[in-house]
Amino acid sequence: MKKFFVFLLSLVALLIVVAAGLGLYVRQALQPVSSDTTEMRFVVTRGQAISNIASNLQEAGLIHSGQIFSWYVRLNKIDKKIQAGSFTLSASQSFLEIAQALTEGTEDVWITLLEGWRVEETADYLEKSELDTFNKADFLELSATSEGYLFPDTYLVPREITAEALYNLFTRTFENKVATEFGDLDQADLKRLVILASLVEREARGFTQMRHVAGILENRLEIGMALQVDATLQYIRGEVNGKWWSPPRSEDKKLSSPYNTYENPGLPPYPIANPGLDALKAAYDPLQVDDLYYLHAPSGEIYFGETLEEHNQNISKYLR
């Protein structure tokens, strides 16, 4: 019994020492890493896990322990309030100050350009974003000859970014993506790729479908057949009743424009929209098919045919 009592006392003493050591460790972890007030930019990406944020804070030298930070913000129910964006932090801030800073409003704005938008749609979207100095007219002037070259993506940008800086960011991203994916293309090949990709972007959904449509368009080009792409008619009409890409009408096939692919053989003179990477890849490597026709059913499905007879059968089956 005496030995058990001694063991119990020893165990209690050990637990007290461990608890005291743990408490000291936690208290120290909650203190600033240093007195250095040098500020640094810290980015929290969308959907990033708290454990990853905490780990990145520790790696940046902003906190002592990522594990303690994760525990601290969850215990205090701060984890759900942390925002995605860019923040200015320093190692002189405490745990609480850093955690609080991550909940108080990012210095930057997340913007997302969708695949298939034309320049005007992009400008409309940016004008409605929380960009303090954005000027729509300036952006449209800069982008007037850059349809197809404003790369669709999600960007984190300063609130005070200018129209010119945005334009440079979008076009530079396009150049980097194309160079990485396709290597060096001469200007003629690049222009053809982007024009075809812009048609594919508006006419198909999903990479497999895009490659199939790209293959059909290449087949038509090869035999001198008019492309007959409805999206080009939509591009000609522009904004209709406040909406872009309104459904084409039968009379639109007679519109006088170099973009009318019913009236003019070959590709249109310039892109009709800004294609994403999948559309560019599909245009670069089209599916080798014998089909010459495709149609979109109201259900959203797309149906292909090798001959006009098959195409007419699809029309009768899915559109009538």
Q: Domain map of the chain by residue range?
A: 33-106, 108-181, 184-318
What are 111's strand-pairing partners? 155
Query: pLDDT tens digit string along 110-154?
Result: 899 999 999 999 999 999 998 999 999 999 999 999 999 999 999
Q: Say what the pLDDT of residue 20 is.
A: 47
| CATH code linked to domain 33-106 | 3.30.1490.480
Q: Say what the pLDDT of residue 29 is.
A: 57
What are 304's strand-pairing partners? 294
Tell me the C-alpha to C-alpha distance, in Å, between residue 230 and each of 4, 148, 204, 250: 88, 18, 12, 10
d(CA 255, CA 240): 15
The average pLDDT across 271-293 equals: 97
Q: Say what the pLDDT of residue 18 is.
A: 46
Q: Say what the pLDDT of residue 96 is.
A: 81
Is 50 exceeded by the pLDDT of residue 189?
Answer: yes
Query: pLDDT tens digit string along 199-208?
Result: 999 999 999 9
Contact of 110 with 136, CB cutoff 8 Å: no
Percent of the chain with pLDDT over 90: 57
- CB atoms near residue 121 (< 10 Å): 17
Q: Say what the pLDDT of residue 17 is.
A: 47
Q: Name the pairing type of β-strands 293-296 and 302-305.
A: antiparallel
∠ CA 205-273-283, nearest 5°, is 55
HSE-CB of 84 using CA atoms within 13 angstroms: 12
| Phi, psi torsion values for 286, nearest 5 degrees | -65, 155
d(CA 272, CA 293): 21
Query: pLDDT tens digit string along 5-45?
Result: 555 555 555 555 444 444 455 566 567 878 788 888 888 88
Query: pLDDT tens digit string along 215-230?
Result: 999 999 999 999 999 9
Chain-wide mean pLDDT for the chain?
88
The average pLDDT across 69-89 equals: 83
